[in-house]
Structure 1
């Protein structure tokens, strides 16, 4: 065990992330630095790309510090397609997740030796190595869509003597050849849970998945499989990179034209709806309007964008264009959230069945519920 491993585990334990002794043993046993490439990127808004490139050869101190700090370390950008330019805002597409978040998800999964586990998104391979320590390497299957990321993870796992099954495929289909599983853990964020993952989970098994809507990028759901359905509550919010097949982009660039601005409806803002300032409100509104994008752009204002409409909230004026009144819809959903008592993220739940996804509030049996999509 390196000094870095010991210090990281001690810090996570002090913050309450490693209350399970087996989980602490796993973090102390698995060297995180062996899962990082020599070139990584660290979040840094002071540089033009948004991320600072750090090379192990030229800046070893910063590289090693990142390896054993509670930070996410980006290991691939822009799907590995090109080198970033100085003024090009890059997009992280694979990473070694923040260790505290890794520990949190592993604790939520309630893992025990001998359980068969499917991991969606191998990434660096670090999480798969931890899983192997917790349930046994023969019981871990990890699926990764990117061939280069998958190959690097295999090599890193082999370097630490860990021989879990790594499959290069689209994780939306799971890995039926190795099913069924007692646990399915996703290390990518989803807008919808692919039903094959439910089908490949045993009765009473758990599915743990980061969750997002087009309006709110953070969430996590813990679902129990019963009678061909997966149902459970949202829990501590986390933010992960979106599953590749579910990436979503607002169509604003196509719709925001000079002509559209001239046609837009302009009105004074009459009160400030909660979703503009409150994360819990935004999460709730995102569940009510799952296909509506939201973001705040400094110097411009708050944007809403759907398939055929957009809205801009700029200071005390609302500008809307298209057949939908998106600001009105979002404000109504925000008022509904306030009217039901301003519930937190964990007050909501999700049920996934062969017919689609249903969100609900309070008790699943008696609280309000609504379909997200089919």
Structure 2
């Protein structure tokens, strides 16, 4: 299926997917997207429903392997957060292709997860050339067991905080992250060879999707966002809006209300939301059925319903978002592919169209 859809045009990549058995890296109990389930995920047990389990193992779907950091059973709950998974094979193939892997490359993977991606890397570059770091001890232990069962025990699977990289095994030709982030740790740049490549999922508090491909040169890493994809957030960078503590009856009574004259693009356009996330770091955005569109910072919130804007706090979040949305329109409605990112020791800089001549601004210091 992946080959038919054009994801495995590289013969070496196709051989890796045909060789590495994905089912060996999945636990007997997994969770799959299911809009009819109270939590949004349906538990699938290999012993009770083998047909569905095997279909997921070799389908182009994301398979959740851990819920809520493994801390509870969500079977009868109405809320659950997936915290580890086997990513969709098509997305895995896209990331591996973007990395430009060659035999002999030394590779650092951030986020071992099930170990399947590490096995693919080992097939592509050599089993002794892959170091994979996982922060969760139980996930790391299971990955090591699965790698050994599949014949990839030479892979170095380390239990540690991936934001620190692995200096003892550096430098690396390639760094690949399988967890999304708001800041790219500079340690990864320091541990990458000159001309090496970093491929990492990216997100902002406003928009959860993006992937960036950076090349390291003279102590900096720079490159373009290459595709809109969504991954789970790195544990050390998880971020949550403070709306629950700020949206009180008292604050609602004190809120400012104004008529909505026109609907800015960010309320309906994914590319606008991506661009705004780069312009307004720290501002959360989401749409909630039955209420409307929400914006939230550390000290303010805004609710945009059908015809009214309600705001509380010192910031005019709707005004800021509307101005950024107008900037995005004036810039020609750029997509994710039109933006780039440069990482230096001191700051992250975003640029549009061209690092040399396009507009740029610090994302944060």
Normalised to the residue count of structure 2, the TM-score between the two structures is 0.99
| Per-residue deviation, 1:88 | 2.7
SS of equivalent to 2:343: strand
Whether 1:359 and 2:334 are equivalent positions in the alignment is no
Q: Compute the RMSD of aligned alpha carbons.
A: 0.6
Distance in 2 separating the partners of 1:314 and 1:271? 12
2:288 to 287, 297, 312: 297
1: CA distance, partners of 2:193 / 2:77: 49
Structure 2 residue aligned with 1:79, among 66, 69, 73?
Answer: 69
CA distance in 2, matches of 1:24, 1:226: 31
* Contact 2:303–2:309 (Cα < 8 Å) also in 1: yes
Worse-superposed segment, 11-20 or 85-94: 85-94
- For 1:96-245, what aligned pairs fall within 5 Å after superposition? 96-163=86-153, 164-245=155-236
CA distance in structure 2 between the aligned counterparts of 1:369 and 1:26, rounded to whole angstroms: 39
1:85 and 1:270 mapped to 2: Cα distance?
Answer: 45
Task: Give the distance between the partners of 1:83 and 1:344, measured in 2 at CA.
Answer: 39
Report the secondary structure of 1:184's partner residue.
strand
| TM-superposition CA deviations, 1:250-300 (whole Å, max 9, x none) | 000010000110111100111110001001100000000010000000010
Structure 2 equivalent of residue 5 of structure 1: none
Q: Secondary structure at the match of 1:260?
A: helix
- In the alignment, which residue of structure 1 is the partner of 2:18? 28
Q: In structure 2, list runs of 5 or more residues that go unmatched.
A: none
Q: Indicate whether 1:321 and 2:301 are aligned.
A: no
* Distance in structure 2 (CA, Å) of the matches to 1:87 and 1:38: 21
Is the 8 Å Cα contact of residues 43 and 75 (structure 2) preserved in structure 1?
no
Distance 1:294 1:26 in 2: 39
What's 1:7 paired with? none
Q: Which of residues 17, 27, 41 in structure 2 aligns to 1:37?
A: 27
Partner of 1:348: 339
* 2:80 aligned partner: 90
Task: Provide Cα deviations, 1:308-346, integer angstroms capped at 9, x if missing partner.
Answer: 000000111100100000011001000000001111111
Shift of 1:85: 4.2
The separation in 2 between residues aligned to 1:230 and 1:28, in whole angstroms, is 33
> For 1:344-367, what per-residue CA distance to the aligned partner results, in whole angstroms no more than 9, with x for missing partners?
111000000001101010110111
TM-fit CA distance, 1:237: 1.1
Alignment of 1:62-73 (within 5 A): 62-73=52-63
Cα displacement (A) at 1:12: 0.5
Give the total of aligned pairs.
364
TM-superposed deviation, 1:200: 0.2
CA deviations on 1:198-246 (whole Å, 9 max, x unpaired) are: 0000000000000000000000000000010000000111100000000
Residues 150-175 of structure 1, C-alpha deviation per residue, up to 9 Å, x if partnerless?
A: 00000000001102000000000001
- Are the equivalent residues in 1 in contact too, given 2:28–2:45 (CA < 8 A)? yes
For 1:94 and 1:299, the matched residues in 2 are separated by 30
SS in 1 for 2:303: strand
Secondary structure of the residue that 2:310 maps to in structure 1?
strand
Aligned to 1:307: 298
What TM-score, normalized to structure 1?
A: 0.97
